[in-house]
Structure 1
């Protein structure tokens, strides 16, 4: 009973982080299962079976809060399902431990980029609204789905930073779309595991415990991601990626620093830098908000699609950037009362 309560709490916490940051449910849950002696294939199968329910709940919640771009969901989710099915089949036959450090190194680079980009420069807005191309989303989904199934998690850590780095979709919609498309990935991975392994090594009571915890957290996470400013969210996501993948590298055969003072020192230093980066982003965001005209509306997601894209009438001056609007307000024509 104690184990089941612990699993439910892990599912709740993992889904809260995953739904708010677009990653970590699979990584967190699979890590716990491996720590208590579950073999990798069974651990990944257990997590993905639970994720069928948690991702469905998360997707519905994100949709209700307006966090989902359905074109992105389809274009990245369908290839992701193909990759996940293939990955589940492969994992059932061999270990992919040797590939983990390589993937972690790539993800670490993306995490450092995001952490620096969002902390010091904020959200890239010059590409917002531009379409994400199929030739980018298709391969991304295929790779992320394969990594997710073989590693017990990875859909978010691969997909979220790649979409954020593109600068074409606002962070809350990146996270909502990745979380929603993960339903297809989880379904395909679970099917692959069940066809390859049967129910061998899978404890369905554990699946239910993880599922219940995740379903409870899904609506709260979807609400949270809508109200956290994009700049702060980007710094938070970048920090998660850097911390998680640095830990994987330190524990790999490359470095062999698992449970050593070096590991604690490095991860502690990263956590301090991460906290400082998020604090910096919060202060920068507040300064940006203070500089905006007091129009009595929530500007935390000022980079959302223009009114015309939603079928509404745009006010005069809509479509110009904040800096342009400020210049327009101070121009002789705009300020003239003659």
Structure 2
């Protein structure tokens, strides 16, 4: 019994650590949980649709805890939330349906090139200009695209939506908190769509590890987002976005196995 238990713990522990680290980054910067987790599962040979389904199943719980934490720390702009939620869900459900029936990986490299350039711009802006708060104008279409890319790529809501809202002048702290809170509803919708089309077998033991680590880390990420300076958030978001996108591009070009 002990030997069996230790084997199971040994199998799941790496995924708990990945879930913890990914959620710490995601909660603080509004992105990267899905990207990091999906990259790991794909590297292990999990098919794209099943990897995305597993990650979104875990994210249903981690984003729920993260949303509660951001609300408690007053990081949520409810007007921005209302503008994002419906387009985001429509895009997410559409993307999940497409990925359940078609391989949606072909567009992903082009999106990663775009996100890498956005990341470099955010770093440059954080270093050279103090962030100027403005109400973002391009929100609905951004939510639609972000939700679609999140479902088809296993991660993308945060990188697409957070980065573009920051470019438009939205407050970094409230952008991150709002995007994370909307993500709970989005992820729940995507997970239900995958469940209806792919069945319960899509949710693997990897999901449990990602879930445990993510739930533990979620409150700490929201705390960081509240207390870190806006300029630092700009640079941190840009750095994470550039690194994760560059990794995806390198993998697409064959430099990484």
TM-score normalised according to structure 2 size: 0.93
Contact 2:57–2:203 (Cα < 8 Å) also in 1: no
2:143 is aligned to: 141
1:67 is aligned to: 75
1:270 is aligned to: none
Shift of 1:45: 0.5
Contact 1:81–1:187 (Cα < 8 Å) also in 2: no
Distance 2:42 2:76 in 1: 32
Shift of 1:75: 1.3
SS of the aligned residue for 1:200 comes to helix
Distance 1:81 1:120 in 2: 35
Q: Structure 2 residue aligned with 1:132, among 130, 136, 140? A: 136
Distance 2:202 2:57 in 1: 13
SS of the aligned residue for 1:92 comes to helix
Shift of 1:256: 2.9
Distance 2:44 2:201 in 1: 17
Query: Are 1:215 and 2:222 counterparts?
Result: no
CA RMSD in angstroms comes to: 1.3
Q: Which runs of 5+ in 1 are unaligned?
A: 260-338
Contact 2:172–2:233 (Cα < 8 Å) also in 1: yes
SS of the aligned residue for 2:201 comes to coil
Aligned length: 249
More relative contact order, 1 or 2 (CA 8 Å, 6+ apart): 2
Contact 1:16–1:218 (Cα < 8 Å) also in 2: yes
Q: Which runs of 5+ in 2 are unaligned?
A: 1-7
Query: Are 1:241 and 2:238 counterparts?
Result: no
Query: Are 1:174 and 2:175 counterparts?
Result: yes
Shift of 1:214: 0.9
2:203 is aligned to: 202
1:190 is aligned to: 191
2:160 is aligned to: 158
2:37 is aligned to: 29
Higher helix share: 2
SS of the aligned residue for 2:202 comes to coil
Distance 1:48 1:98 in 2: 20
The C-alpha deviation readout for 1:269-299, integer Å capped at 9, x for no partner, is xxxxxxxxxxxxxxxxxxxxxxxxxxxxxxx
Distance 2:254 2:211 in 1: 34
Distance 1:73 1:251 in 2: 34
Q: Structure 2 residue aligned with 1:122, among 127, 130, 139? A: 130
TM-score normalised according to structure 1 size: 0.71
